[in-house]
Structure 1
Amino acid sequence: MWDPEPGWLNTASYGLPPRRAFEELQAMLADWRVGRTSWEGWDIATQRSRESFARLIGVAAEDVCVGAQVSQVLAPVAAGLAGNRFLVPDVEFTSNLFPWLATAQVRTVPAASLADSVDSTVDVVAFSLVQSADGAVADYAAVVAAARAHGALVVVDATQACGWLPFDGSLADVVAAGAYKWLMSPRGSAFAYLAPHVRERFLPVAAGWYAGEDVHGSYYGEPLRLASSARRFDISPSWPVYSGTAPALEVVEEIGVAAINAHNVQLANRFRAGLGLPPGDSAIAVVDVPGAEELLRRAGVRAAVRAGRVRASFHIYTTDADVDLALNALTHG
């Protein structure tokens, strides 16, 4: 279902499209090139994507908005919670940090002590379910329990988790995710679950015609007539991007996140074992081998460097041969 060149260990930077997603995107582009059809047919993919994402994290589709990037879908959350007191991991990816720094009071602590640091001074806990820098998996249940015990809201960035790590999105108040990594979509599609009990606090400051209750009846003029669901936070979607997003998410559903998780973590642990490292629970592994970046590059292995260490990431299209190629490069030069 995929066509990767050997040595791709960088899904944490961007995922590779399933063949079906690539083909649907090409078909849309071919129609656009010659003006074969109107855009309404292309837009069906946006709703398919919304519904698929909702199923993947266990929430209702009417509680999901669509957008372009994580910081963009979090912007109305930041505006609505301006002045609140946030607790955030100290090495958090900035799409889930800068919006709060711009609008609120922020205290940072090590990710491992996040749950223990929640107290009566915290209004909102915001964190990545899987950390971008090192692949550490948050203790989601513990953080949620601590937040609820102190009446705090929970905002989760699931970009590095959604697609390989099973989790219940409904436990949080807000879950945002970019789809171009583990959901293997074109860059430019993102989603946010906005729980009904909190979204009344958020202002749809980017609302346009696509946020209307009746999209096709919202092209012109007053009055304000936004959707009653989370769609009021939608921005007008990029049709090519969502044409590739819908089939990619549906492939994840068909395979099953639990099956993908087992495959990914097994390969990551094969990689760790080959370097003498203990097993972990993540599809992302970081290594401190001297000269690792250059050793991997010479072997044709594509990985990333984050926070000064080589970051390798393993997904459904990764094979034992990919892992062995990387191990041979790191252990034998």
Structure 2
Amino acid sequence: MDVSSAQKLWDPEPGWLNTASYGLPPRPAFEELQAALGDWRIGRTSWEPWGESTVRARAAFARLVGVHPDDVTIGSTVSQLLAPVAAALPAGTRVVAPDIEFTSNLFPWAVAPGVEVRTVPADRVADSVDASTDLVAFSLVQSATGAVADYDAIVSAARAHGALVVVDATQACGWLTFDAGRADAVVVGAYKWLMSPRGSAFAYLSPALRERLTPYAAGWSAAEDLHTSYYGLPLRVASTARRFDISPAWFSYVGTAPALELVEEIGVEAIGAHDVALANRFLAGLGLPPGDSAIVTVDVPGAEERLARAGVRAAIRAGRVRASFHVYSTEADVDTALEALTG
């Protein structure tokens, strides 16, 4: 399915340029969710079909980032998925992270007892990794600026010094292709570029890293066999990354599975090309050079009021416009925003 055909599966009001805050659901995902909510309202069915959505979603996410489903755990938020990694760090661990990193990939390290976090400019992360570094944490695409990290350079620097690599790909997964298996952990909140309900999130955890972690939040969803693990000991957690699962928010995953499957059907590479082309159309209209991201930030006086009058919804960060473009965005959306900002 090409992007043009796929766009018919969304129903956005014109002017939505804020996927970096939350993505809009494709119609198949929204309708599947509404059907499940209807069943819940009157008690039409048991919960097992909703639970199966987590199986579909996990498999689709694994395919999107190029890893095996056994290496993927599911949860609700990025920081929750990082908690077992942070809990396993011994006192004296030294972490390097960008100074503008979103706090979901900073606070877990900062609250860990005895862990030292050193922040550096986002474009200096690879150069700042040295023999004293134990873990490098960074976003593949920065929420604040849209800057795309040099994934290869950072991973190479970390490996050269024996440091772990933890990547927040929330602002990348769905439009930017990457190999999650090169990192030790990759976390993704699905409600942005994967256009899912808030409450679903994924983490790739490498087998070597998992050996160092304890599933402190283990419950029946972390069991090897869910349906024979409702009650009593002995402990019988899964041998795969599922041991770190928390009980899924059913309806979030009901909406997540079809959204991820549609992203896969369209193709991340095709979506990325569409998104970046629109971002560069926006930049060109403001007399700025092209970039490589679906997220751009620009400084335009009075931008918030101008965009609001035109019906354009974008984020404003410290007076700067943060515009983000996705599969349902159109050239007309871009041109409306440009007219508002330059007219």
Q: State TM-score, norm by structure 2.
A: 0.96
3-state SS of 1:201 partner: coil
Match of 1:44 among 52, 73, 87: 52
**2:109 maps to which residue?**
100
**1:142 maps to which residue?**
153
**2:4 maps to which residue?**
none
Contact in 2 for aligned 1:162/1:182 (Cα 8 Å)? yes
Letter of the structure 1 residue corresponding to residue 194 of structure 2: L
**1:266 maps to which residue?**
277
Residue by residue, what CA displacement relative to the aligned partner does 1:228-272 show, whole Å, maximum 9, x if unpaired?
A: 000000000011100000000000000000000100000000000
Alignment of 1:282-301 (within 5 A): 282-301=293-312
CA distance in 1, matches of 2:156, 2:123: 15
CA distance in 2, matches of 1:287, 1:297: 16
Shift of 1:308: 3.8
CA distance in 1, matches of 2:48, 2:294: 38
Alignment of 1:137-176 (within 5 A): 137-176=148-187
Shift of 1:309: 1.5
In the alignment, structure 1 residue 26 sits paired with structure 2 residue 34: yes
Over aligned residue pairs, what C-alpha RMSD do you find? Answer: 0.7
Contact in 2 for aligned 1:81/1:202 (Cα 8 Å)? no
**2:5 maps to which residue?**
none
Shift of 1:307: 4.3
CA distance in 2, matches of 1:177, 1:251: 17
**1:235 maps to which residue?**
246
Identity of aligned residues (%): 74
CA distance in 2, matches of 1:108, 1:205: 28
3-state SS of 1:301 partner: coil
CA distance in 1, matches of 2:198, 2:316: 20
Alignment of 1:1-333 (within 5 A): 1-83=9-91, 84-103=93-112, 104-332=115-343
3-state SS of 1:232 partner: helix
Contact in 2 for aligned 1:12/1:182 (Cα 8 Å)? yes
Letter of the structure 1 residue corresponding to residue 206 of structure 2: A
Letter of the structure 2 residue corresponding to residue 94 of structure 1: T
CA distance in 1, matches of 2:318, 2:147: 13
Shift of 1:41: 1.2
3-state SS of 1:15 partner: coil
Residue ranges of structure 2 left out of the alignment (5+ in a row) = 1-8
- Cα pair distance change 1:226/1:183, threshold 3 Å: same
Letter of the structure 2 residue corresponding to residue 165 of structure 1: L
CA distance in 2, matches of 1:307, 1:118: 30
CA distance in 2, matches of 1:304, 1:88: 24
CA distance in 2, matches of 1:134, 1:308: 13
| Length, aligned pairs only | 332
Letter of the structure 1 residue corresponding to residue 311 of structure 2: G
CA distance in 1, matches of 2:109, 2:90: 8
CA distance in 1, matches of 2:85, 2:44: 39
CA distance in 2, matches of 1:325, 1:203: 51
Letter of the structure 2 residue corresponding to residue 276 of structure 1: G
Contact in 2 for aligned 1:8/1:303 (Cα 8 Å)? yes
Shift of 1:42: 1.1
CA distance in 2, matches of 1:293, 1:7: 13
3-state SS of 1:228 partner: coil
Runs of 4+ more than 6 Å apart: none
CA distance in 2, matches of 1:280, 1:81: 37
CA distance in 1, matches of 2:22, 2:328: 13
Residue by residue, what CA displacement relative to the aligned partner does 1:153-203 show, whole Å, maximum 9, x if unpaired?
A: 100000000000000000000000000000000001000000001111111
Letter of the structure 1 residue corresponding to residue 222 of structure 2: A
Shift of 1:306: 2.4
CA distance in 2, matches of 1:228, 1:158: 25
Letter of the structure 2 residue corresponding to residue 120 of structure 1: A
3-state SS of 1:161 partner: coil
